[in-house]
Amino acid sequence: MNGMGKAEALTVLEHHGLLRIPVKVFQYPTSVTSRQLQQLFGRDTHLVVRTAADSEERNLPRRVGVTAEIAAEWINALPPTLSALVQPYEQVLFSVELAAYEDLHVAEVVPGIWELDNRLAPLVLQIRSDRVDLTATDDESQRARFHDPHHGLHERPARVDDWQLATVTKWIKHHHRALNVTLTDLGHPFGLKLHYSARFGLSPQNLRGTVPDSDTWHGGDHPSTVETTVVSSTNEPIPTGPKLLNVSIAREDHTTLTTFIHRLRETGTREVFLRSGVLSHLAINLREAGITVRSAHG
């Protein structure tokens, strides 16, 4: 996998005025102290520590909702090839994956923290000039996953509300120029991962080096018109022919993900339909394995 690492991506986002939540980058750290972190973020602030390599790599270790003491100890024990990105912990209310093209911005929105589960079906916003199109996958609540410092990871029924869609639309329109300048500087379409918290609003977390071809959003075959087999577990046998994946794989369970994708390739899978979004963590890894990803929704 190539492309820019998280630290470089944060520099690009900050340069174009897109970075909102404060982030401190420690390049290849060996002696970070809890006092340093407390001076940066406050004595009683819980922290998120993400790790970054020199290139665009996913599934790297991280810690969420930890104290300055735990964060410092964990950072100092990292392999020498990794840098640490530290930011204040915020409870994420909903997540967004944004694909930015020259004349089109597409946002997939889900409740909770998307990378904890690949099964969530997103709402899709397409914004072109003054036109906004919404694709709603269903009207029912989903079992979304959240995190808070008192209870840790937990699930509860949730849905994307109208105010959340309005917030995403407003953010994209407000940052339209910055997104276009970033696209020009990079020389190709790109993606953004964003989290929403009450204190910081929509905050870009990372920049994706690749996104699906823009034609992906223009329709095409749909599972209702194609004879597909539903795969609901990473452990069940994988059939030949077109298949609809309705599987749940958390970001941290990278071994399960890579094994599942390897099994798909072994059966000759070249195309899949996903209930989860085509910008999801699962979709990204499938595309990098050479598998075409299509939405399971109209």
Q: Are residues 284 and 252 in the same domain?
A: yes
Q: Is the separation of the CB atoms in 127 and 104 below 8 Å?
A: yes
| β partners of residue 25 | 85
Q: Are residues 288 and 209 in the same domain?
A: no
Q: Are residues 192 and 109 in the same domain?
A: yes
**In a domain? residue 103:** yes
**In a domain? residue 158:** yes
Looking from the CA of 200 toward its CB, the CA atoms found within 13 Å total 22
CATH number of domain containing 82? 3.30.1490
Largest CA distance in the chain: 60
Write down the pLDDT at residue 274. 87
Q: Are residues 79 and 104 in the same domain?
A: no
CATH number of domain containing 156? 3.30.470.20
Q: Are residues 52 and 82 in the same domain?
A: yes
Q: Are residues 108 and 208 in the same domain?
A: yes
- How many domains would you assign to the chain? 3
Return the exposure string of 119-145: e unless at least 16 CB atoms fall within 10 Å of the residue's CB, then b: bbbbbbbbbeeeeeeeeebeeeebebb
**In a domain? residue 111:** yes
Domain boundary residue, one of 34, 62, 88: 88
Pick from 286, 150, 153: nearest CA to 231: 286
**Cα 128 to Cα 273: distance, rounded to the nearest angstrom:** 25
Structure tokens at 195: 């989290």
**In a domain? residue 152:** yes
Q: Are residues 130 and 206 in the same domain?
A: yes
- This prediction has a pTM of 0.88
What element of type H or E holds 173?
helix 162-174
**In a domain? residue 263:** yes
Spatial strand order of the sheet with 292-295 comes to 229-231, 243-245, 271-274, 292-295
- The one-character DSSP state at 275 is S
Q: Is the separation of the CB atoms in 124 and 277 below 8 Å?
A: yes
Write down the pLDDT at residue 60. 82
Domain, as residue range, for 125 = 94-216
Q: Are residues 73 and 125 in the same domain?
A: no
| Terminal Cα-to-Cα distance of the chain (whole angstroms) | 31
Write down the pLDDT at residue 82. 93
Return the exposure string of 246-265: e unless at least 16 CB atoms fall within 10 Å of the residue's CB, then b: bbbbbbeeeeebeebbeebe
**Cα 274 to Cα 162: distance, rounded to the nearest angstrom:** 24
**Cα 65 to Cα 88: distance, rounded to the nearest angstrom:** 8
Q: How far is CA 297 from CA 13, 76, 226, in A?
A: 32, 45, 12
Which position has the token pair 């195309």?
A: 271
Structure tokens at 272: 């899949």
Q: Are residues 75 and 180 in the same domain?
A: no
Burial of 197 (0-12, 13-18, 19+ CB in 10 A): middle
Q: Are residues 120 and 45 in the same domain?
A: no
| β partners of residue 86 | 24, 49
CATH number of domain containing 229? 3.40.50
Q: Are residues 186 and 226 in the same domain?
A: no
**In a domain? residue 14:** no
Domain boundary residue, one of 216, 250, 265: 216
Going by C-beta distance under 8 Å and a sequence separation of 6 or more, which residues neighbour residue 134?
123, 124, 125, 126, 165
Q: Are residues 35 and 67 in the same domain?
A: yes
**In a domain? residue 261:** yes
Domain boundary residue, one of 172, 192, 216: 216
**Cα 158 to Cα 172: distance, rounded to the nearest angstrom:** 23
**In a domain? residue 285:** yes
Question: pLDDT per position in the chain (298 positions), as tens?
Answer: 456 788 888 999 999 999 999 999 999 998 999 999 999 999 989 999 999 888 766 678 899 999 999 999 999 999 999 999 999 999 999 999 999 999 999 999 999 998 777 678 899 999 998 799 988 765 567 889 899 888 888 999 999 999 999 999 999 999 999 999 999 999 999 999 999 999 999 999 999 888 999 888 876 555 555 678 889 888 888 888 888 988 877 766 778 888 999 999 999 999 999 888 899 888 888 998 999 998 876 5
